[in-house]
Amino acid sequence: MLSRRNIRIKVMQVLYAMNRDKELTPAKAMLLYKNNIKQSFDLYLFNLRQFINIADYAKTVVKKAKEKYRPTEEDLAFQPILSDNPLIQSLHDNEGLSKIFQRNKIKEKIKEYNTKVLYREFAKTEVYQEYLKNENTEEDHRKALLQLFKTMVANEVFEDSLDENFLFWDDDKSLVVGAMKKTIKGLPTNTDFYEAFRPTDETVKEFGETLLHKVTSENKMLLDLIEPTLKNWDAERVAVIDMILLKMAVCELVSFPTIPTKVTLNEFVEISKLYSTDKSKDFINGILDRLLKKLDKEGKIIKQGRGLIQD
């Protein structure tokens, strides 16, 4: 689920934490990075569990309606088709999913009050009102569940719950939304579908852990490479995030032979747009352009694979 850009951002965040907390050793920084990666997958699981809980709340509505002293005909006629539909049932029947919810302690993060609020918000939608009236096909169930998810992610109560449980949830939001939509469109299922959204070792370890380790262990060497290209800039006056991004980019240029230089330059310029000052993208772009020419001339950039050899 996590792209290399997401991994770069997570490495950047850990390096920034190290800059702010001098007691954060490289070993502790690596543990922090691994925990942040786990949190990304847990964020997907949290979205999925909250989604299921909202659908299940239809049963609570039925129970409360029938417990009324004088239930109306509408109360007695209400059916929990949202929770009983085969797509949601396939999630309930998935033993692997139940185990991973339990192992990662996802259920404990979800508040019943939030579930009630989110269900009631969904109950107001025209899609749900029509859904309750009709004999529904599998596609009708899916349409209702997609609307349920859309209502859930747009609600402030849900965003507040993300703030409480996931420090960097906004960084992974678009990926998780995409994963959830893909999950809903793939229902019903009896497979370990969630494993497709677990971060891969290739991205997390071979790229992310290596990048973090090299930047922390080769910090002085990276600074020595960068400083001569700063011209009139004092290295200490460069914004913290900008210097971190420059070090990461240089490390990637010289230590990852299968990543094209253009990809590295473009990625770090784009990240600077999101996380640094308005002028940072031009600063980063200019410094990296000079560094690339200098390092290439010195033979320090060696790329392997078709299309990666510089002309």
Q: Mean pLDDT over all residues of the chain?
A: 92
Low-confidence winner among 80-84, 149-153, 201-205, 293-297 (lowest mean pLDDT): 80-84
Percent of the chain, pLDDT > 70?
92
The residue-averaged pLDDT of 164-181 equals 95
209 lies in some domain: no
pLDDT of residue 65: 67
Domain boundary at 197, 228, 253, which? 197
- Claim to verify: residue 224 and residue 116 sit in the same structural domain: no
Structure tokens at 199: 């971060």
Question: Stretch 125-146: mean pLDDT, rounded?
Answer: 93
> pLDDT value at position 77?
58
CA 300, chain centre distance (Å) = 34
Range scoring the smallest mean pLDDT among 32-41, 130-139, 224-233 = 224-233
Closest CA to 11 of 232, 181, 218, 248: 248
With H, G, I as helix, E, B as strand and everything else as coil, classify residue 228.
Answer: helix
| Shared-domain flag, residues 75 and 40 | yes
Question: Does residue 212 belong to any structural domain of this protein?
Answer: no
Domain boundary pick from 163, 197, 231: 197
Angle at alpha carbon of residue 87, lines to 63 and 164, rounded to 5°: 70
Do 165 and 230 have their domain in common?
no
Q: What is the pTM of this model?
A: 0.90
**What are 278's two structure tokens?**
């308005």
Q: How confident is the model at residue 231 (pLDDT cuts 50, 70, 90)?
A: confident
Q: Which two tokens stand for residue 17?
A: 């934490």
Q: pLDDT tens digits for 67-82? A: 666 766 665 556 778 9
The pLDDT of residue 305 is: 62
Q: Which pLDDT band, with edges at 50, 70 and 90, does 278 fall under?
A: confident
List the CATH number of the domain containing 255: 1.10.940.10
- Are 38 and 152 found together in one domain? yes
In percent, the amount of the chain with pLDDT more than 90 equals 83
Give the phi and the psi of residue 118 in degrees, each rounded to 5: -70, -40
Q: Which of 148, 167, 197 is the last residue of a domain?
A: 197
Residue 110's Cβ-side half-sphere holds a number of Cα atoms within 13 Å equal to: 23
The residue-averaged pLDDT of 262-289 equals 94
Tokens standing for residue 124: 């107001």
Task: Quote the CA–CA distance of 248 and 9 in Å, as a whole number.
Answer: 10
CA torsion 132-136-138-140 (nearest 10°) is -60
In a domain, 272, yes or no: yes
> Does 56 share its domain with 164?
yes
Helix residue ranges, H only, the chain: 4-20, 26-66, 73-77, 81-84, 86-92, 95-103, 112-123, 126-133, 138-153, 156-165, 169-185, 201, 210-217, 219-226, 240-255, 261-275, 280-297
Would 15 be classed as within a structural domain?
A: no
Whether residues 120 and 62 share a domain: the answer is: yes
Tokens of residue 38, six digits = 């786990």
In a domain, 253, yes or no: yes
* 13 in a structural domain: no
Read off the amino acid at residue 260.
Answer: P
Residue 78 domain boundaries: 23-197
Structural tokens at position 105: 């302690």
Does the structure show a pLDDT above 60 at 310? no
Q: Which residue has the tokens 């992610």?
A: 153
CA pair distance 73, 305, nearest whole angstrom: 71
**Cα–Cα distance measured from residue 76 to residue 167, given in angstroms and rounded to the nearest whole number:** 43
Q: Does the pLDDT of residue 295 top 50, yes or no?
A: yes
Number of domains into which the chain is organized: 2
- Asked if 150 and 54 sit in the same domain, the reply is yes
Residues 281 and 222 in one domain: yes
pLDDT band at 106 (very low <50, low <70, confident <90, very high): very high
Query: Is 40 in the same domain as 125?
Result: yes
Task: Classify residue 65: in a domain, yes or no.
Answer: yes
- Residues 234, 161, single domain; the answer is no
CB of 16 closer than 8 Å to CB of 244: yes
CA distance 302 to 83: 56
Q: Is the domain of 250 the same as that of 102?
A: no
Question: For residue 311, what pLDDT is reported?
Answer: 40
Q: Please choose, from the candidates 194, 200, 196, the residue with its C-alpha nearest in 3D space to the C-alpha of residue 97.
A: 194
pLDDT for the residue numbered 63: 78
Question: What digits encode the pLDDT tens for the residues 176-204?
Answer: 999 999 999 999 999 999 999 999 999 99
* 3-state SS assignment for residue 4: helix
Asked whether residue 224 falls in the same domain as residue 172, the answer is no
Kindly state whether residue 247 falls inside one of the protein's structural domains.
yes
Q: pLDDT per residue over 9-33, tens digit each? A: 999 999 999 999 999 999 999 999 9
Residue range 171-177: mean pLDDT, rounded:
95
